């Protein structure tokens, strides 16, 4: 009997039944799709959307989405590092994934609206002139319509501009949410290096922005449409929509770093003063390799000083202890940093998934909401302590 079951498939072909008994081919997950979208100041960003496997997620509109963020810098783009492998692992567990190129990186080089880019007050004002660090701007005529990171004279000072890229990513995902391609009520962030600092600032901004497009009269300052963050929110109105920060389910930071141009005092203020709800409402996981001194130091700064993860200090400040935010050393990671931790035998991907899956058990019941944002908005970086 054992020999009969072990007989080769040739036996079936011999009696003409091979095609009848062969199992149907497994459905292939959807191929990643390249997408384009605009920032509020007219830069065209390029991204790739990795939809979750419909075999694992029959209702795509109910599935969460993960934003992947590499640290901006020379010769960096969304293809460097094993982000693709991480996206596949996340897809397999039911998460949609979106990765993109920051302005001036990879394929995100086109300024589609040069006039808006070079003249808007949020990037070109007297106290906020970040575009001053780009070669080839005004008084050049015609205005430059392409942007590359290598053109920046002081790249570390340009970092706040990337907050507007994340604002554009959010609107892009909200549009996909409204088209029932994903559920923007559950957004996860995974970032490496300086992306942790950018991501933390953006999370602060999300708590100062309405989750859905505000109806007239719900803003403290009446403006035609919704142009910038933060605005004074008329929370006392009663029917005011919840803050966008509630949609951020969790964040994972790989080898977090903080640029010297962003002071410790500035970062602390984001949570202590501007968006205290970040601390208990947005779970985070900080990962760093055992011999990565910089990643360890910065992760401990974020955990202990910004989020007050130290129990004794939290108690002294009458704060609840953190129960969903963790800091973890990656054993045997040695001096690997950021994306170098991916695609190894260190099981970093499974650690992240365990963290996110635990959160998603409760978030799975959070329904999708129509967002209604049709155009990207600016983030006024001056409100978050950024000075060029």
Average pLDDT for the chain: 89
List alpha helices for 216-310, DSSP H.
Answer: 264-269, 277-281, 293-300
Which of 197, 131, 192, 202 lies closest to 167, judged by CA? 202
Q: List the structure tokens of 179.
A: 């088209």
Q: How far apart are CA 173 and CA 170, in angstroms?
A: 5
Is 126's pLDDT higher than 90? Answer: no
Calculate ∠ Cα 43-252-307, nearest 5°.
100
Q: How many Cβ atoms sit within 10 Å of the Cβ of residue 367?
A: 7
pLDDT at 248: 98
Closest CA to 287 of 318, 313, 256: 256
pLDDT at 58: 86
Please report, rounded to a whole number, the percentage of residues in the chain having pLDDT higher than 90. Answer: 73
**Residue 130 C-alpha from the chain's centroid:** 22
Q: How far apart (Å, rounded) are the C-alpha atoms in residues 304 and 298?
A: 10
Which of 32-46, 113-127, 217-231 shows the highest mean pLDDT? 32-46
**In 147-228, alpha helices (H):** 162-178, 195-206
Given a cut of 50, is residue 243 above it in pLDDT?
yes
DSSP tally for the chain: helices H, then strands E? 13, 13
pLDDT score, position 2: 35
What is the C-alpha to C-alpha distance for residues 156 and 153, in angstroms, rounded to an integer? 9
Q: What is the pLDDT of residues 265-317, one digit of tens each?
A: 999 999 999 999 999 999 999 999 999 999 999 999 999 999 999 889 999 99
Those residues with Cβ within 8 angstroms of residue 374's Cβ, 6 or more apart along the chain or in another chain: 175, 213
Confidence category of residue 234, pLDDT binned at 50, 70, 90: low
The pTM (predicted TM-score) of the whole model is 0.91
Range in 87-91, 133-137, 189-193 with the lowest mean pLDDT: 133-137
* Biggest CA pair distance of the chain: 86
Q: In sequence order, which residues have a C-beta less than 8 Å from that of residue 378 and are 6 or more positions away?
A: 40, 41, 120, 122, 164, 167, 227, 228, 229
User: What are the residue ranges of helices labelled H in 80-209?
Assistant: 83-92, 114-119, 121-124, 162-178, 195-206
pLDDT tens track for 327-347: 999 999 999 999 999 999 999
The residue among 78, 275, 72 whose CA lies nearest residue 164 is 72
Which two three-digit tokens encode residue 280?
């208990």
- Residue 221 per-residue DSSP state: S
With a CB cutoff of 8 Å and minimum separation 6, the contacts of 318 are none
Q: Residue 157: how many CB atoms within 10 A of its CB? A: 17
CA distance 371 to 214: 9
- Identify the structural domains of the chain with CATH numbers, from first to last: 2-384 (3.40.50.1820)
Cα 376 from chain centre: 16
Residues 19 and 5: their CA atoms lie apart, in Å, by 18
Give the per-residue pLDDT at 222.
57
Picking from 332, 327, 357, the residue whose alpha carbon sits closest to that of residue 346 is 332
Q: Determine the straight-line distance between the first and last CA of the chain, rounded to whole angstroms.
A: 79
DSSP 339: G
């Amino acid at each position: 009997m054992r020999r009969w079951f072990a007989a080769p498939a040739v036996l079936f072909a011999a009696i003409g039944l091979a095609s009848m008994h062969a199992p149907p081919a497994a459905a292939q997950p959807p191929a990643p799709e390249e997408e384009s979208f605009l920032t509020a100041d007219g830069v065209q960003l390029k991204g790739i959307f990795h939809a979750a496997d419909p075999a694992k997620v029959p209702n795509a509109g109910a599935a969460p989405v993960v934003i992947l963020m590499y640290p901006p810098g020379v010769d960096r783009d969304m293809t460097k590092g094993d982000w693709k492998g991480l996206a596949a692992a996340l897809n397999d567990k039911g998460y949609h994934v979106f990765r993109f190129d920051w302005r001036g990186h990879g394929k995100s080089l086109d300024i589609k609206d040069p006039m808006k880019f070079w003249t808007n007050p949020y990037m070109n004002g007297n106290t906020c002139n970040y575009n001053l660090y780009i070669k080839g701007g005004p008084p050049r005529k015609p205005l430059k319509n392409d942007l590359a990171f290598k053109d920046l004279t002081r790249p570390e000072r340009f970092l706040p501009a990337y907050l507007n890229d994340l604002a554009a990513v959010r609107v892009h995902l909200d549009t996909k949410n409204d088209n029932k391609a994903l559920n923007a009520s559950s957004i996860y962030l995974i970032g490496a290096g300086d992306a942790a600092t950018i991501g933390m600032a953006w999370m602060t901004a999300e708590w100062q922005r309405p989750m859905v497009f505000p109806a007239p009269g719900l803003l403290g300052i009446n403006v035609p449409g919704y142009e910038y963050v933060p605005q004074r929110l008329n929370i006392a109105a009663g029917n005011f929509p919840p803050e966008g920060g509630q949609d951020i389910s969790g964040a994972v930071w790989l080898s977090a770093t903080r640029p010297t141009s962003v002071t410790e005092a500035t970062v602390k203020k984001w949570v202590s003063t501007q968006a205290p709800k970040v601390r208990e409402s947005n779970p985070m996981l900080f990962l760093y390799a055992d011999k990565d001194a910089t990643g360890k130091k910065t992760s401990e700064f974020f955990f202990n000083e910004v989020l007050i993860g130290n129990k004794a200090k939290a108690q002294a400040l009458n704060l609840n202890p953190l129960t969903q935010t963790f800091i973890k050393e990656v054993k045997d990671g040695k001096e690997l940093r950021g994306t170098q931790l991916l695609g190894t035998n260190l099981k970093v991907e499974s650690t992240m998934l365990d963290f996110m899956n635990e959160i998603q058990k409760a978030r799975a019941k959070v329904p999708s909401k129509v967002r209604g944002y049709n155009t990207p908005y600016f983030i006024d970086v001056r409100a978050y302590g950024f000075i060029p």
